[in-house]
Amino acid sequence: MNYKIALIKGDGIGPEIVDEAVKVLNQVGEKYGHTFDYTRVLMGGESIDACGVPLTDEAIAQCKASDSVLMGSIGGNTTTSPWYKLEPSLRPEAGLLKLRKSLGLFANIRPAYLYDELKAACPIKDEIIGDQGFDMVIMRELTGGLYFGERKTVEENGVLKAYDSLTYDENEIRRIAIKGFEIAMKRRKNVISVDKANVLDSSRLWRKVVEEVAKDYPEVTYSHMLVDNCAMQLVKNPGQFDVILTENMFGDILSDEASEITGSIGMLSSASLSETSLGLYEPSHGSAPDIAGTNQANPIATILSAAMMLRYSLNLDKEADAIEAAVKAVLKKGLRTVDIMSEGCTQLGCKEMGDAIAAEI
């Protein structure tokens, strides 16, 4: 089969890590008899530099015409890069937000788990992590809430006042809740829905709809947790979580906290899914402009994002398995990029790590 992949290399380490993911994808294609046709799509800083805006209509059309989108990372140093002198709607991140909305990518899946081999990198004490480690998925709503509500800044009686709004309707909540319970069915069958129902109307509606959806999944146990408590529980006992289901802003905060708790954010992939098979796949980490171009970046999160793409958008399960197994194999061999390096292991650059994983396929 032939698949059309839109490739957003982006900024900072984006180009390097995407190149390695392409290397691995091509190897998978060779082995399993697929071809991947890549279309370079500009977004973020690279698009600002080339086209004056962080995402053009043409770029959106190119993504829509593809089977899936694979992305590196966007954005630069917010204090030194000229991109951040532009007005907010023209900055790199605005491109990503626009793409999420344009492609209807309402479901963001961010896995956070501890690799056995990387336990040493985990910032949490062994007594807390225990022998089992932890393995959770954050199912974050991605096209609603504070991110896409109306906003304005106005002067009232000589005083500047800023407004943002947080809205959710029951359909938006229902479709993400269904995604959360569906993924739980393929995992340990537990959903913890996170909200701030003691304060927000949107959270109370969230709770109500989640309870309705839960009725259709009698095998899944579920409970509600307040967002402040969840921020504590992630540190106190990460092993209690299977699927965390939450709205956009809370998901932004909690998924970053959860990634950090693994101690190896360079390993964590993410998927943003729509109602169709079109999805966007990207590492959970950022564009790390300070190490861009130095061959130090860890390409594994992007390579695993490519595996998620095969699984969720292209329905190529065994091909996805092959990539994941290859990553496990190089870790077992003690190969490491600098961010996950530990004593007794062999340190590789970004390219060499890509080569090593491709070689395992």
Ligand X SMILES: CC(C)[C@H](C(=O)O)[C@@H](O)C(=O)O
Minimum CB–partner distance for residue 65 and a second copy (Å): 28
176 binds, among ligand X, a second copy, none (CB under 5 to 8 A by kind): none
Separation between Cα atoms, residue 246 and residue 177, nearest integer Å:
8
Angle at 174 between CA 230 and CA 220, to 5 degrees: 60
Separation between Cα atoms, residue 22 and residue 103, nearest integer Å:
22
Residues 247-286 that bind ligand X (CB under 6 A): 252
CB nearer to a second copy: pick between 94 and 353: 94
333 included as an active-site residue: no
Give the residue from 134, 336, 149 showing the smallest Cα distance to 233: 134
By residue count, the chain amounts to 361
256 included as an active-site residue: yes
Q: Residues 59, 60, 96, 308: which binds ligand X (CB under 6 A)? A: 96
For the chain, the straight-line distance linking the first and the last C-alpha, in angstroms and rounded, comes to: 18
CB 146 within 8 A of CB 249: yes
236 binds a second copy (CB under 8 A): yes
321 included as an active-site residue: no
Residues 89-128 that bind a second copy (CB under 8 A): 91, 93, 97, 122-125, 128
Q: Residues 19, 93, 257, 324: which binds ligand X (CB under 6 A)? A: 93
215 binds a second copy (CB under 8 A): no
What backbone torsions phi and psi does residue 320 show, to the nearest 5 degrees? -65, -45
Distance, CA of 353 to chain centre = 21
Separation between Cα atoms, residue 242 and residue 140, nearest integer Å:
14
List of residues contacting ligand X (CB under 6 A): 93, 96-97, 198-199, 228, 252
- The set of catalytic residues is 147, 196, 228, 252, 256
List of residues contacting a second copy (CB under 8 A): 88, 91, 93, 97, 122-125, 128, 146-147, 151-153, 156, 159-171, 196-202, 204-206, 227-229, 231-236, 249-250, 252-257, 259-261, 265
